[in-house]
Amino acid sequence: MIVADVRILDDADLDAAVAVLARGIREIPLYRWLLGEHADDLGKRAWLAKILLLPLLRAGCVAGAEVDGRLVGVLAWQPHDLDLGVVTEGALTRDDFSAVIETPELLERLRELWTEPPLPPPVPDGVNMILVTVLPEVRGGDVLADLVAPVEEYCREYDRPAYLWTGSPRVRDWFAAGWHGRVFAEVEWNGVHMYGGVSGRPLTSRTRRQM
């Protein structure tokens, strides 16, 4: 059995977190659509991983799983009342977008993603589980589920459910099976069939003993 230590990441962990997400990001249907013909370009994947993670990491909303001192998984979330624009002002600069500015087709898809109305939350006070990935070599155990523990703790403290939007039936089913989740909506978004899943209140694992 693989035993992971889970903690909240900070700036010192950024490079390691980006490396983990860059490996897994093309398995996330929405980001595979965004990367398009660049999905196999590790540099472009690392660029996208950084712009997704850095604001949330600065806000204290990225958890990491470590095995033998090595980061092997990340999960990012956002409470409904966290304004990332205020909390993380200046986290990303124009230089962080130089790679995409030089790639017109990628820039167009990014603009499309960021200017469309966001997918709606199922409840006004839910915690949005934005992305989660673990390295292939540690899959099949409890690492992925363990990553959710900090979100469970937050949801218990504030009596909130969690939700996610995913293009992956596997993630949809994982969330439903592990956290009393249900599908509340299905939509086509940017050419990806997206499933909206929401937990009970508060988010609670079906199997992990609550501390």
Residue type, position 13, single letter: D
Q: Say what the pLDDT of residue 87 is.
A: 61
Q: Say what the pLDDT of residue 209 is.
A: 47
Q: Say what the pLDDT of residue 210 is.
A: 45
Q: Say what the pLDDT of residue 138 is.
A: 84
- Do residues 145 and 110 touch, judged by C-beta distance below 8 A? no
- Do residues 73 and 133 touch, judged by C-beta distance below 8 A? yes
Number of other CB atoms surrounding residue 158 within 10 Å: 12
Q: Say what the pLDDT of residue 92 is.
A: 65
CA 65 to chain centre: 14
pLDDT along the chain (211 residues), means of 10: 88 96 94 92 92 92 95 96 71 68 82 86 96 89 89 96 96 92 94 95 76 36
Closest by Cα among 60, 68, 100 to 3: 68
pTM: 0.89
Tell how strand 5-8 and strand 70-79 pair up. unpaired
Q: Say what the pLDDT of residue 142 is.
A: 84
Measured distance CA(33)–CA(36) in Å, rounded: 5
